[in-house]
Amino acid sequence: MITKKIISLIGLIFFFLFFKNLIYFLNKEIQINKEKKIYPNVYINNLNFGEKKPEEIISFFNKKNDHLKEIKIIIFHQKDEIATFSAKTINLHFDSEGIAKRVYFIGRSSNPLSKIFQKAVCIFNWQKFNFEANPSFDFQPFYDFIKIAEEKYNKPAKNALFKFQNGQVIAFAQEVYGQKINEKKFFQSLEKETNKINKNYSKIIRINLPVEKIEPEIKLNSINNFGIAEKIAEGKSDYSGSIPERIHNIILASSKFNGILIPPQKTLSFNETVGDISQLTGYKPAYIIKNGKTILGDGGGVCQVSTTLFRAALNAGLEILERSAHAYRVSYYENDSKPGFDATVYAPYNDLKIKNNMPTHILLETKLDKEKNLLYFYIFGKKDGRQVDISSPVIWDISPPLPPKYQDDPTLKRGITKQVDFPAWGAKVKFQYKVTKNNQVIFEKDFFSFYQPWQAVYLVGVAE
């Protein structure tokens, strides 16, 4: 009998408590929805915004946005400051309205069960909803920066050269490590540092440009050939993307320079050395630029060879008597190089002339890595203590590509359209070249390149 009374009493107490909590729940819900407030126990970045109105959240984060305007992001390479971005430039801000909508949605889900659950846990303080709100920004300025930084800081690994002669292998020249910007790590670091703004506000955010070492594949160090004691310099270019006919012409033209000896004070003419360029001498038609048009012409790709020789001559500290830049920035020559280090040839108008201003003979050797689409020029001789200074290119007057060009091609059947050129940004480029020995300047020259903005070129078949 007593047990039944106790059970009844407990049931009555539970009913009373349930009814009391239900009344509290309903009253609280009515109040919150009537005043259009956030449900209790809703946090943003560990700050309680429960029972606040969305307008208060928007106002709170708008004030934070006012502080964000003072922030600058500075990028360093090693210890050098190489770029600065203002908050305005990258549109650094908190999405005030978006944050307010997210937290206001708690307890207002379109799913009935989810909605009731969220309301209950919030009102009765059973669970805390904590949102993390970080500032957002425009990534595009950083993508543009990375592209420019890659031109400046990305350097391919240079393999040491080896050569068989008379059954012997002579090792020479210590290998050179390359470097490459780790774009993924850069953006991870960028997001990590900007997310710290919530905890540690600072007007300056410093980020180091992450650069990885690239290890060379071949590690050898010296050679002796035709009385030549050592390697003086090398030049390299990447012809990836070339059509088979262009690659054929590169191989053929570069073979003309393999084993060439240049006596002291003598001048090498590229055009004279390479000789006649036509189908009669084994060259295949490939696309060339002539009179402002992209056409099939004998020897397309020979400029890849002249460009590579030009780079090798610069590194050797030789005297460059004649060099012409291309009319526009050709993608092949920037696959592995900065803009401005190209040399076009077109007999009899444009030639590359290099003088051996060293006291000994120099020997030219060429090599193709067909798997990696790399052309090498090696210059051998005897070092005489000269120092070579080649500045980084200065780029200005950058202009966007022109609209696409479509031109009729009688070699293609009607209905066929073939892209042979890709858009390129116009620019003016200059780099300084100075060769000194015993503190005396023996050769000095500024090299200018004036690149026109170029358009994508499509050949439209007109042949029946």
DSSP 8-state code for residue 328? S
Instruction: Label the pairing between strands 47-48 and 261-262.
Output: unpaired
Helices 96-104, 54-68: axis angle to 10 degrees equals: 150
Give the chain's length.
464
Q: What percent of the chain is modeled with pLDDT above 70?
A: 84
- Would you give the distance in Å from CA 186 to the centre of its chain? 12
Q: With a cut of 60, say whether residue 219 has pLDDT above it.
A: no
Calculate ∠ Cα 10-16-21, nearest 5°: 125
Mean of the pLDDT values across residues 261-266? 87
Q: What is the DSSP string of 337-374?
A: S-TT-----BTTTB--EEE--SSS-EEEEEEEETTTTE
248 within 8 A of 302, measured Cβ to Cβ? no
> How much is the pLDDT for 177?
79
Q: Which of 76-80, 177-181, 214-218, 424-428 has the lowest mean pLDDT?
A: 214-218
Place of tokens 């397309």: 300
Q: With a cut of 50, say whether residue 49 has pLDDT above it.
A: yes
> How much is the pLDDT for 172?
35
| 3-class secondary structure, 453 | coil
Nearest-angstrom CA–CA distance, 73 and 409: 51
Q: With a cut of 80, say whether residue 431 has pLDDT above it.
A: yes
Could you report the per-residue pLDDT of 141-186, keeping only the tens digit for each? 888 888 888 888 888 887 555 443 443 323 334 457 799 988 888 8
Res. 223 pLDDT band, cuts 50 70 90: very low
Of residues 60 and 201, the one with the higher pLDDT is 60
Neighbours of 46 (CB within 10 A): 11
Q: Which of 71, 73, 69 is nearest to 82 (CA)?
A: 73
Characterize 397-422 residue by residue with b for buried, 16 or more Cβ atoms within 10 angstroms of its Cβ, and e for exposed: eeeebeeebeeebeeeeeeeeeebbe
Q: Which residues contact residue 140 at a Cβ distance below 8 angstroms, ignoring those fewer than 6 apart? A: none
Mean of the pLDDT values across residues 336-345? 94
420 within 8 A of 443, measured Cβ to Cβ? no
Nearest-angstrom CA–CA distance, 96 and 62: 6
Nearest-angstrom CA–CA distance, 54 and 18: 31
**Mean per-residue pLDDT over the chain, rounded:** 82
List residues bridging with 294 in a β-sheet: 289
List residues bridging with 231 in a β-sheet: 380
**What CA–CA distances, in Å, run from 294 to 89, 97, 196, 408?**
39, 53, 52, 11
Could you report the per-residue pLDDT of 267-287, keeping only the tens digit for each? 999 999 999 998 889 999 886
Q: With a cut of 70, say whether residue 422 has pLDDT above it.
A: yes
Could you report the per-residue pLDDT of 288-329, keeping only the tens digit for each? 766 655 667 777 899 999 999 999 999 999 999 999 999 889
pTM: 0.51
Could you report the per-residue pLDDT of 113-152, keeping only the tens digit for each? 877 787 777 777 788 888 888 888 888 888 888 888 888 8
Q: Which of 47-56, 224-233, 412-421 has the lowest mean pLDDT?
A: 224-233
Q: What is the CA radius of gyration of the chain?
A: 35
Nearest-angstrom CA–CA distance, 95 and 93: 6
Of residues 331 and 114, the one with the higher pLDDT is 331
Could you report the per-residue pLDDT of 10-36, keeping only the tens digit for each? 655 555 555 545 555 555 676 666 668
Mean of the pLDDT values across residues 246-255? 94
> How much is the pLDDT for 337?
92
Q: Burial level of 308, CB count in 10 A (0-12/13-18/19+)?
A: buried
Of residues 223 and 293, the one with the higher pLDDT is 293
Of residues 62 and 436, the one with the higher pLDDT is 436
Q: With a cut of 90, say whether residue 230 has pLDDT above it.
A: no
Nearest-angstrom CA–CA distance, 369 and 86: 44
Q: Which two tokens stand for residue 45?
A: 């970045």
Nearest-angstrom CA–CA distance, 340 and 431: 7
Q: Which residues contact residue 39 at a Cβ distance below 8 angstroms, ignoring those fewer than 6 apart? A: 32, 50, 51, 106, 107, 118, 119, 122, 123
> How much is the pLDDT for 312?
97
Phi-psi domain of 10 (left: phi exceeds 0; alpha: psi -120 through 50; beta: other): alpha
Q: Which of 190, 212, 178, 197 is nearest to 83 (CA)?
A: 190
205 within 8 A of 182, measured Cβ to Cβ? no
Characterize 316-348 residue by residue with b for buried, 16 or more Cβ atoms within 10 angstroms of its Cβ, and e for exposed: bbbbbebbbbbebbbebbbebbbbbbbbbbbbe
Characterize 256-291 residue by residue with b for buried, 16 or more Cβ atoms within 10 angstroms of its Cβ, and e for exposed: bbeeebbeeeeebebbeebeebeeeeebbbbbbbee
> How much is the pLDDT for 311?
98
Of residues 144 and 199, the one with the higher pLDDT is 144
Could you report the per-residue pLDDT of 372-419, keeping only the tens digit for each? 999 999 998 889 999 999 999 999 999 999 999 888 988 889 989 988
> How much is the pLDDT for 292?
58
